[in-house]
């Protein structure tokens, strides 16, 4: 990437803070989404579960927008957002499996890739001096396109939830979930070939 874009994506150690407005939005949307999912499971309400999903998605867009608007994109915030995404998604999908047990297998496959494989991929940005996975194009454009471009994010998250809710087809859902898992495994292989550098300043603990 040109040097002119350095300020856009590079990490700024002195700028790091947990107490940002964007992180507050993340906290609120996580509490709202998880709370609604729990009530939905208790009451057996698909409508409340979908409301949980809406709060998760809208809040996820909002916290990123607030971070950029206030010029407070941080690596701390990126990690916090990644973890909260998993909590919100896990609450929604476990609620959906509770309400519709026939969807348990595709949900299990999806959670395997999202909670484990995709979580590892999303945290990999920490090995480079970039603010978040959104800027991984400066490291590897193909991995970024597969996982963190707007189409990549839509396919990897929103599309699967919409597919399950609209079709309620466990076979179709399982097939799509396996395809997503395959994409994440391929991404992990590519990442391993790329290599994860040790961040500058890390002390060698060997004696």
- Tell me if 203 is assigned to some domain: no
- Tell me if 201 is assigned to some domain: no
List the domain range (segments joined by +) for residue 45: 3-194
- Tell me if 206 is assigned to some domain: no
- Tell me if 204 is assigned to some domain: no
Number of domains in the chain: 1
- Tell me if 199 is assigned to some domain: no
CATH number of the structural domain spanning residue 176? 1.20.120.1760
**Partners of 10 in beta bridges:** 130
Q: Please report the pLDDT score of residue 206 as a whole number.
A: 46
Q: Please report the pLDDT score of residue 182 as a whole number.
A: 97
pLDDT tens for the chain, 207 residues long, are: 434 354 555 656 556 666 789 899 999 999 999 999 999 999 999 999 999 999 999 999 999 899 889 887 899 999 999 999 999 999 999 999 999 999 999 999 999 999 999 999 999 999 999 989 999 999 999 999 999 999 999 988 889 999 999 999 999 999 999 999 999 999 999 999 998 887 665 555 444
- Tell me if 205 is assigned to some domain: no
Residue (of 58, 17, 43) closest to 95 by Cα position? 43
Q: What DSSP line would sit under 90-132, residue for residue?
A: HHHHHHHHHH-GGGHHHHHHHHHIIIIIHHHHHHGGGGTTBSS
- Tell me if 92 is assigned to some domain: yes
Q: Which residues contact 95 (CB under 8 A, 6 or more apart)?
A: 37, 38, 40, 41, 49, 52
- Tell me if 152 is assigned to some domain: yes
């Amino acid at each position: 990437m040109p040097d002119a874009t350095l300020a856009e994506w590079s990490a700024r150690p002195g700028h790091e803070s947990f107490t940002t407005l964007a992180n507050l939005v993340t906290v609120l949307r996580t509490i709202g989404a998880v709370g609604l999912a729990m009530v939905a499971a208790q009451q057996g309400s698909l409508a409340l579960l979908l409301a949980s999903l809406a709060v998760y998605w809208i809040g996820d867009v909002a916290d990123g927008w607030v971070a950029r608007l206030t010029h407070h994109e941080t690596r701390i915030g990126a990690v916090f957002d990644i973890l909260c995404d998993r909590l919100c998604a896990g609450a929604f999908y476990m609620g959906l499996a509770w309400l519709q047990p026939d969807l348990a297998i595709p949900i299990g496959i999806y959670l395997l890739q999202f909670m484990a494989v995709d979580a590892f991929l999303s945290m990999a940005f920490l090995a480079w001096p970039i603010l978040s996975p959104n800027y991984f194009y400066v490291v590897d454009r193909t991995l970024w396109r597969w996982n963190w471009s707007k189409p990549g994010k839509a396919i990897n998250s929103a599309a699967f939830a919409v597919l399950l809710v609209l079709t309620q087809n466990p076979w179709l859902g399982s097939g799509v979930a396996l395809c997503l898992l395959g994409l994440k495994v391929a991404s992990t292989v590519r990442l391993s070939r790329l290599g994860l550098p040790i961040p500058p300043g890390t002390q060698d603990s060997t004696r």
